[in-house]
Amino acid sequence: MNFVTLTSDIGYQDYLVGAVKAQLLQIDADIHLVDISHNITPFNFPQASYVCRGAFKNFPEFTFHLILVNLFGTKPEHLLVAFHKNQYIICADNGLLNMILEERPDIIIGIPLDKKAVKNTLYITGIIAKTVERLVNGESIQKIGIADFNFIDKNPLQPLVDTSYIEGQIIFIDNFENVIVNITRKQFEEQRRGRNFKIVFKRDEVIDKISESYADVREGDKLALFNSADYLEIAINKGNAAGLFGLKGFSDKASQSSNIMQNQLLYQTVRVYFG
């Protein structure tokens, strides 16, 4: 059985998700389609990379992961097909691929698009569907496009590190308004080196221990834990951490803009002090 996952910023308001699935089902009616998310915030690459990275590693080998995020950030002239750790990833050449993988893919191919075509979403996904079909039918990835393609490479969003602290950015807020920070358990422990710690956000909110579950604290109390993707999470037991504390997802624009926007960073970052 061939698994195909879909991740997009399309949403569910119109017909496009259904139309994309119809294109894929024309390849093989028995193909197993899995929605990861269609509610990625537009232009939010840290969020998209977190969602994809957390999901992809749970799928069987040779799954096809189709990423329809920011397809038209620039005028598309080609698509990327990557094969990495026995998984296929197909996406736009917009820098997201490297942010998801956090390293260069094992194999990278460029799929040229017809210069005369009207490059709307369904044209792009039609090319993706044909590419999946060729691979499913046993065609070598090396023969379906331009090998060793020179793709756009954006650095993954990484926490800031100092001897006495590590500062992470809020990369995702889930349906319960739990706040996920781009600090992994490994990064936390490597920087901690057995020392005591204080997790600080909004200047005056402090957590000084890691819980194993939400139920480790009383209802309404705040807590920190490492979630199932092994990222630091700030939560409130049976509450809404993001809403209560005014926390927001990290924005590249705020990090590069005016002083007013810079003030927003206070609500987009979490710092862990060690000592």
pTM of whole model > 0.95? no
Backbone φ and ψ of 90, nearest 5°? -120, 125
137 plus 175 within the same structural domain = no
User: Could you give the CA distance from residue 106 to residue 99 in angstroms, rounded to a whole number?
Assistant: 15
Other beta carbons within 10 angstroms of residue 227's beta carbon come to 16
At 253 the pLDDT is 54
Residue 172, domain CATH: 2.40.30.90
- Residue 215 corresponds to which tokens in the numbers above? 């139920």
Residue 99 within any structural domain of the chain: yes
Q: Answer yes or no: are the C-beta atoms of 7 and 128 closer than 8 Å.
A: no
Alpha-carbon distances, residue 74 vs 87, 95, 118, 125, 155 (angstroms):
26, 11, 14, 16, 18
Q: Which of 106, 112, 104 is nearest to 154 (CA)?
A: 104
At 258 the pLDDT is 47
Residue 177 structural domain: 160-274
Domains identified in the chain, total number: 2
Q: What are the mean pLDDT values of the chain's consecutive 10-residue runs (275 residues total)?
A: 94 95 93 96 94 96 98 93 98 96 96 94 96 95 95 93 96 96 97 97 92 96 97 97 92 52 70 97
7 plus 55 within the same structural domain = yes
270 plus 172 within the same structural domain = yes
- Boundary residue ending a domain (109, 143, 177): 143
